[in-house]
Structures are given as structure tokens and as C-alpha cells.
Amino acid sequence: MSAPVIEIRGVTKAFGDLEVLKGVDLEVAEHEAVALIGASGSGKSTLLRCIDLLEDIDDGDIFLDSEVITDPSVDTVGVRRKLGVVFQAYNLFPHLNVIDNVTLGLVRAGDTNREEAEAQALKVLARFGLEGRERERPDNLSGGQQQRVAIARAFAARPRAMLLDEVTSALDPELVGEVLRAVRDLRSEGVTMLLATHEMGFAKEVADRVGFLHEGRLLEIGPPAQLLEDPQEPETKKFLRRLLEAGRA
């Protein structure tokens, strides 16, 4: 088996006295999708932010294609160009129209010229069902459309891996489906991804492995069927039972 795309070794991260990650180990192989589940505050988002170097880790190492990316000497911009991040709150650029949201990174960060970038952006936007909306401002789109633009923006530069941070949590229930369809579409192409999610059914369907984060530790990880239906750890069982009671699983 080839080396993992993302490798996380003993990562810890604290905000002041609050330890959010207490030593996490995780690997994401090429073409693999790993879903992280866990309660709010369990460290899912922080872990994703650490991988994209939006947070400095306190201890441990993170590797991207076997190269350490968490040393202070590393070119952070170069690392981020190889990763595509989708945020929970979309974080689209409201002053730019849809296509410029996508091309900004291609033109400024990559070495793509304007025309090439536009062509590339049109293609990726069409792929996520956004043809005809290219010149609209993000404010004029529904939440589901905005999140699909955000996915297109993150994917346009063909990153080595996608990091999806609860991409459906800010959406009205009827809009969740279209965003999940976009993620499924990436999945069918074999895009390597690490996603934090609250959608258990989706995690089961789309992920090769599901990991359960609890209070900053990855308590267990395994194939979805095993982790979601036959969890070994009492905390995992408790978490899944609570979800079941809330009607979310």
C-alpha cells in the first residue's frame, strides 16, 4: 500500500487551558474518505484547521504526502495550495461574484492565467449544478447553492485532499441533500477526503472509515458498518445512542 496522503501523529492542541486535541493519530490513504464524528467540542474542526495550518499545533507532527507540514520552516502557503477546505459557514467572498470566488485562488495562488481559470471554474461550477449562476453575488444564492460554490472553490485547483468541516450543519434540512450529492460526486471520482460530519447516514454511505472523536482523542476508528453498528468503546455507544434518541441516525 502506498504512503498515506495525510498522516497525523500524536497531535495536541490547546487554547489556553482548554486542551482540544490530546494526542491524535490518524492516516488518510490515497482515494480514501475518512469521516470524523463526535459531539460539538470534541475537536473535529480543530483537527481539520490544524491540517490546513490555520492553527498551530502544540505537539506531534502532520505529514502531507510523507512530508512534514507542521515545522515552523515549512512554506504554509504551498501546503494550503495542496489542500481544499470547505467551511461550515461557507465563507464565500461576498464582494465577488460566484465565478470570481472560484478563480481568485486559481489566478493569484496558482500560475493559471485568467482565461484558463475562468474555463476551469465554469467547468467545476457546472459540475456542481451551478451553471447560469456564475455572475451572481453569493448573497443571492440559497445556502445549498453557496455551499456548492464553496466546494467548487476548494476543488477547482485539484487539491491532494479535501477537508470538509461539517458542510451541511448551517443548512436548512431541505438543502442538505444537494450538498451531500456534491460530496458524493467528489467521492465517486476518488477524491481523498477527511470530513467532519453530523450526518451519520451520510458518513456510513460515503466514508471508507469512520472515526469517533471524544474530548480530543480518537477513541476508535473502523469501517462504517462496524463503528456505527457495533462500536467497542462505551463512549461511542453512548454517543450513538444519544443520536438515535434525537432521531439523527
Q: Which of 23, 60, 110, 129 binds another protein (CB under 8 A)?
A: 110
As a whole number of angstroms, the distance between CA 249 and CA 120 comes to 37
Site string for another protein, 67-86 (x = CB under 8 A): ---------xx--xx-xxx-
Q: Which stretch binds another protein (CB under 8 A): 29-37, 103-111, 128-136, 218-226?
A: 103-111
Total residues at the site for another protein (CB under 8 A)? 24
Nearest to 55 by CA among 82, 91, 80: 80
Please identify, using beta-carbon distances, which residue of 9 and 82 lies nearer to another protein.
Answer: 82
Cβ nearer to another protein, comparing 153 with 209: 153
Q: How far is the CB of 172 from another protein (least distance, A)?
A: 20
Under rule CB under 8 A, residue 91 binds another protein: yes
Convert residues 23-52 into a mask of x (bound to another protein by CB under 8 A) and - (unbound): -----------------------------x
- Per rule CB under 8 A, is residue 105 in the interface with another protein? yes
| Pick 76 or 169: Cβ nearer another protein | 76
Give the residue with the Cβ less far from another protein, 23 or 110: 110
104 touching another protein, by CB under 8 A: yes
Nearest partner of 8 among 217, 224, 228, 231, judged by Cα: 217
When the beta carbons of 84 and 231 are compared against another protein, the nearer one is 84
Ramachandran angles phi, psi of 197, nearest 5°: -150, 155
Q: Tell the residue number behind the cell numbers 482515494, with chain if given.
A: 31
Cell 475537536 identifies what position?
43
- Pick from 37, 157, 164, 176 the residue near another protein by CB under 8 A: 157
Q: Which residues bind another protein (CB under 8 A)?
A: 52, 54, 76-77, 80-81, 83-85, 87, 89, 91-95, 104-105, 108-110, 153-154, 157
